[in-house]
Amino acid sequence: MQRPRREDLVHRLFDLIVIGGGITGAATARDAALRGLSVLLVEKDDFAAGTSSRSSKLIHGGLRYLETYQFRLVAESLRERERMLRLAPHLTEVRPFLYLLYEGYPESKSLLNLGLTFYDAASGEWRKRRHRMLSARQVLDREPHLAADGLLGAGMYYDVLTDDARLTVDTAKGAADAGARLMNHATVTGLVLDGGKARGVTLADQVTGEVYDVRAKQVVNATGPWTDRTRALEHGRGPTGRLRPTKGVHIVVRKSDFPLNTAVFLRSPDDNRVVWPTPSLESDVVYIGTTDTDYDGDPDAVKPEDADIRYLLNVANRTIPAARLTEKHVVGAWAGLRPLVAPEPGTSASNTSREHAITVGPTGMLTISGGKLTSNRVMAKHLVDAAVKRLGIPGRRKYLADKVPVVGGAAIDHSEFTGRALAAGVPAAVAESWLRRYGSQSEQLLSRWTTSSNAQEIIGPRGLSRAEVRHCVAEEMCQSLADLLVRRTSIFFWDARGGLDQIDAIAGELASLLAWSPDRERMEIAEYRALVEKHRPH
């Protein structure tokens, strides 16, 4: 996956330009390219830089949406969960979840059992992952540190954890493999209009400093929380108010401070909302989320506030009272925006529908709003279907996005690969992290590892090697410290210092690969340091 040059773009007429490099835009570009359309995807920051790296990191049906009778959305999401297990096996891991019941909760055991029965059946795989109702004693046998007072029992069911940023990056790579051109760090500053219709975009390339027009038959807006800002390009005025963004914050704590081995759903002691402490795919940390509050600020400036962190600490201490967590126990945090379609007046943030909507603007630009990570393939299909209809392309183009694995999802023998990696001197934990992040693409990392002893040097936390950094630059369009540490490796989320303790070595490697000047290297370090500090309690 390589960034195209100006001359690769300005002399072409694309079928589709997709604005937005989150999971929806990446899935749309992949779907369209797999159908044979010529596609350019443009992202102002980096793939997954917005909501798609700041979710609850779940591929799930959304059990809590049953409370608001969103049965169709839940059933669709469950089917997509099962499909993602097949398409992205390296990025999806089935885990048990405990939906806890305490005295005073609105759910009864019988109602929860009924909801979980629907959840099982709607997935189509109820024989593989069938829920069980547990007594209070059975719950405490499994998780002895949970609050025992008032515990009535739980429903144990199954959902899927993912690395949301890696899923987005690998989906984008799949689009590139299918022939799409991708540009990160390139801002759309305007629409190219022909007779009042959008026939392309004006790009400002942040890497080269160039500004130029690229033309297409159809422009698509898949910019998530920035949807209204992008729609404003059609109207020549400020945001149009189509969205009702809500903010979701998570905190990260060490499992040694918060001994939880099974994800649990329970109700916040502050407002009775459903919240979920979840052991991460990284075995030594637990993340706790999420808040769900209306947000009307700058989507580029969203961050965890002190009140958000206190709210989640209250959740933690309701879950495991003996932990007695305070701000000093928080090793990381993140905040993201849900790009929800504005509901009817009077609807609460938590009850706003997660359904998506597709609209056509006055210039003919297609805009998709709403939705959720789990449903990205369905959203992309609906959007590409709409684009194909507007383009008048015959319907014979074969749909493949539900069959072709995302990049890294091809079969790989983990034991055999690990054996070869160990023989080449790769530490076992590093080989395991490669398989979890890159799946079948781990072969490329092993090849880079064996090129030189220099490539084998570990220069960052959680086994980050020069070989891995070089892979991210050469194969994944990594252009900055944040690209590497937030979206490619997630060190920002799980390391207490976000990689800052070894930032000089990491930045030095990137500087040599990307030909940064000393001033650019110092600026990158300063900007990344500010990002980490903004997401840690003070």
pLDDT at 488: 98
CB within 8 A of 24, min separation 6: which ones?
A: 222, 224, 368, 371, 376, 379, 380, 383
Instruction: Reduce the DSSP state of residue 128 to 3 states and report it.
Output: coil
Q: Which two tokens stand for residue 232?
A: 């404003």
Token code pair at residue 20: 């937005």
Position 73 in a domain: no
Give the pLDDT score at 340: 85
The parent domain of residue 230 ranges over 6-51+165-242+352-391
Relative to beta strand 197-205, strand 186-194 is antiparallel
Question: Does residue 236 surpass a pLDDT of 90?
Answer: no
Q: What is the pLDDT of residues 17-29, one digit of tens each?
A: 999 999 999 999 9
Do 425 and 526 sit in the same domain of this protein? yes
Residues 47 and 170 reside in one and the same domain? yes
pLDDT band at 356 (very low <50, low <70, confident <90, very high): confident
| 39-42 vs 181-183, strand pairing mode | parallel
Tokens linked to 511: 């500087």
Percent of the chain residues topping a pLDDT of 90 = 88
Tell me the residue ranges of DSSP E strands in 206-346.
211-221, 246-254, 263-267, 274-279, 285-289, 293-294, 330-338
Does the pLDDT value for residue 345 go beyond 60? no
**Confidence band, pLDDT 50/70/90 cuts, at residue 237:** low
* 343 domain-assigned: no
Q: Judge whether 367 lies within some domain.
A: yes
Cα separation, 60 vs 119, whole angstroms: 10
In-domain check, residue 496: yes
Q: Are residues 357 and 298 in the same domain?
A: no
For residue 382, the domain's CATH number is: 3.50.50.60
For all residues of the chain together, what is the average pLDDT?
Answer: 94
Q: For residue 67, what pLDDT is reported?
A: 81
Flag whether 405 is in a domain.
no
Over 70: is that where the pLDDT of 354 sits?
A: no
Same domain, 363 and 227: yes
**Which tens digit of pLDDT belongs to each residue from 163-194?**
999 999 999 999 999 999 999 999 999 999 99
- Tell which residue, 151, 494, 144, 154, has the closest CA to residue 322: 144
- By three-state DSSP, how is residue 209 classified? coil
- Whether residue 290 is preceded by a cis peptide bond, meaning omega within 30 degrees of 0, is yes
Same domain, 147 and 177: no
Q: Is residue 465 over pLDDT 80? A: yes
Model pLDDT, residue 343? 60
Q: What is the per-residue pLDDT for 396?
A: 60
Asked if 154 and 171 sit in the same domain, the reply is no
Q: Which residue has tokens 């109700």?
A: 267
User: For 357-399, what is each residue's pLDDT tens digit?
Assistant: 999 999 999 999 988 899 999 999 999 999 999 999 875 678 9
- Give the Cα separation of 509 and 477 in Å (integer): 15
Q: Which pTM does this prediction carry? A: 0.95
Please state whether beta strands 211-221 and 13-19 pair in parallel, antiparallel, or not at all (unpaired): parallel
CA angle at residue 264 from 262 to 265, to 5 degrees?
A: 165
CA 460 to the chain's CA centroid: 23
Q: Can you give the CATH number for the domain in which 471 is found? A: 1.10.8.870
Kindly tell me the number of DSSP H helices and DSSP E strands found in the chain. Answer: 17, 20
- Model confidence at 538, pLDDT cuts 50, 70, 90, reads confident
Residue 65: the pLDDT is: 84
Spatial distance between the Cα atoms of 151 and 104, rounded to a whole number of angstroms:
10
Residues 525 and 423 in one domain: yes
Report which DSSP code applies to 341.
B
Lowest model confidence (mean pLDDT) among 138-152, 259-273, 350-364: 350-364
Return the CATH number at 121: 3.30.9.10
pLDDT class of 98 with cuts at 50, 70, 90? very high
Tell me what pLDDT residue 205 has: 97
What the block records as the tokens of 519 is: 């001033």
pLDDT of residue 395: 58
Q: What is the pLDDT of residue 352?
A: 54
- Express each pLDDT in 188-223 by its tens digit: 999 999 999 999 999 999 999 999 999 999 999 999
Residue 152 within any structural domain of the chain = yes
Q: Which of 315, 338, 361 is the last residue of a domain?
A: 338
For residue 205, tell me if it sits in a domain. Answer: yes
- Do 263 and 331 belong together in one domain? yes
**DSSP designation for 4:** P
- Same-domain check for residues 32 and 135: no
pLDDT > 70: percent of the chain? 96
Query: What is the pLDDT averaged over residues 131-145?
Result: 98
Distance of CA 30 to the CA centre of its chain: 16
Judge if 236 and 262 occupy the same domain.
no
Phi-psi region of 196 (alpha: psi -120 to 50; beta: other; left: phi over 0): left
Give pLDDT, residue 145. 98
Give pLDDT, residue 398: 87
Domain match, 236 and 249 both: no
Total number of domains constituting the chain: 3
142 is a domain residue: yes
How much is the pLDDT for 221?
97
- 324 and 374 fall within a common domain: no
pLDDT at residue number 62: 87
pLDDT exceeds 80 at position 344: no
